[in-house]
Amino acid sequence: MAEDEKASPRAPRKVGVREFRGNFAGFMRQVRHGASFAVTARNEVIAIVLPPQPSPRRRPGTLRGQIEMAPDFDVLPSELLAAMEGRDMEGRDMGGEEE
């Protein structure tokens, strides 16, 4: 415990895995308020539990002018267009139904 008191306020407090498991809800409440813990088993750190970091705010338009689309971006190859329309490359109907 004396070791924990000397540590900086941001350093995770060491807690044994049994103690952590036994009072999980209490530790999670402390994490919600900014505390962090290094969970140990046989004096070896096996996990570090930290409060979530704030996600950066989106800034629309940040990449404006840095992304280019190819001139043919929305042009389908003729064979793909024909297949989607049910035709072969020569323009004949591929419906398969005979009259």
Strand order in the sheet with 44-49: 13-16, 37-41, 44-49
The whole-angstrom separation of Cα 95 and Cα 86 is 6
- Neighbouring C-beta atoms of residue 16, cutoff 10 Å: 13
- pLDDT tens per residue across span 57-79: 888 998 899 989 888 888 888 88
For residue 21, give the 3-state DSSP assignment: helix
pTM attached to this predicted model: 0.49
Owner of token pair 């290094």: 38
pLDDT tens track for 23-32: 999 999 999 9
